[in-house]
Amino acid sequence: MRLLSFFSAVVGLLGCTSAASLFAGSNLYYAAGLNQEQQTTLFKGLQDANVQVLRVWLDGQDSPQKGSYFTSFPSREGDTPRSYNDEVLNRLDGFMHNAQGYAKNALKAHSDFYGQYYGTGLFYSDKNAIEYYKDRIAHVMAHVNPYNGNPWSESPEYIFAFETQNEAMHGNEYPDVLADWQCEIAGAIKDNLQGRSDILVSTGGGSYLATSAQDPYFSCAALDVIAIHAYGLGDLTKQALEPYVKKAQASGKKLIMQEWGMCYYDTSNNNCPTGDALSPLTRDNNIKKYADSIGLAGIPWMYWQIIPNGDAHYGYDYEVGIDHQNWGALKAASQVAQQYAAAFDFSEWL
């Protein structure tokens, strides 16, 4: 499994000529905290489900999260910009190495702490904030993994993609500013790859389908992949997704449904803060239905989230625990993902 990294890693019958097949993936924002036993549980479960890519975060987390107990680890930057703490990177070195035994790749997701200095708007337009963030990216990509002796920027056996930022400007208050920022940061990642094409550059999704796949992204030369985050049911239909697939194909871009999930509760439109629990069968059917819909649109998907323990059912509850309730349905959907015809060929990076 490869990791889709940061700076937080399929198929439909559209008449496309590609012989490529879809793949399934997952997310785990606190992956760096897992101990050896938890990692083994996770990797075996993902292997069983034929999950190809796991998206992980490059920032600190406090235990517990989603019912998982682990040793807390600090933010990558402390109280001021450029004050780096590499503990999360060091932990992920071993995590990625261990994942190799299960043929998993990672997608790395960047988050930021600069809001305390610049707020959610100025972070995307202030020159100093942008330069601080580029320095952070360069620091991460130059980090050397002791297990292969290479910097992360030269570790395609571990890393599927780097992304600009998880859900940059979540509210999309200034779309023009955001579009410029996304392309500039994607360019910074490309610069640190130094001409390599064996690791992809991706956005980190938005608050829903339309904000995830904004028009300027399709003309940004530095972006390889446009990531979609969608939880509302209307955004997960084949009919809603097909226009974006066609636009991506015409623009030479790839799409990934990087975040989606089916709510544990019975709340309207899959909105999931709390509520009454759905019956296991109803949720099973929801998972299968929308995995099929995304697959029929030809888009690879990454579920939010597969966790190595039983779901604690708090927070926004889309998680499914390995060998716990609803795991059979999600595993089955993931196992058959490769049977769909893909709109995009990712085989070079898997």
- Encode pLDDT of 88-130 as tens digits: 999 999 999 999 888 667 777 766 666 666 766 688 999 998 9
Would you say 35 and 70 are in contact if contact means Cβ atoms under 8 Å apart?
yes
- Pick from 32, 165, 51: nearest CA to 105: 51
Q: pTM for the whole thing?
A: 0.93
Tens of pLDDT, residues 193-247? 999 999 999 999 999 999 999 999 999 999 999 999 999 999 999 999 999 999 9
Q: How many CB atoms lie within 10 A of CB 96?
A: 28
pLDDT score at 213: 97
Average pLDDT over residues 300-324: 96
DSSP-H helix ranges across 49-174: 87-99, 115-122, 127-142
**Cα–Cα dist 274/285, whole Å:** 20
Could you name the CATH architecture of 3-349?
Answer: Alpha-Beta Barrel (3.20)
pLDDT score at 4: 53
Burial 308-339 (b: 16+ CB within 10 A, else e): bbbbeeeeebbbbbbeebbbebbbebbebbbe
Is pLDDT above 80 for 11? no
Q: Is residue 71 packed enough to be buried (19+ CB in 10 Å), middle (13-18) or exposed (0-12)?
A: exposed
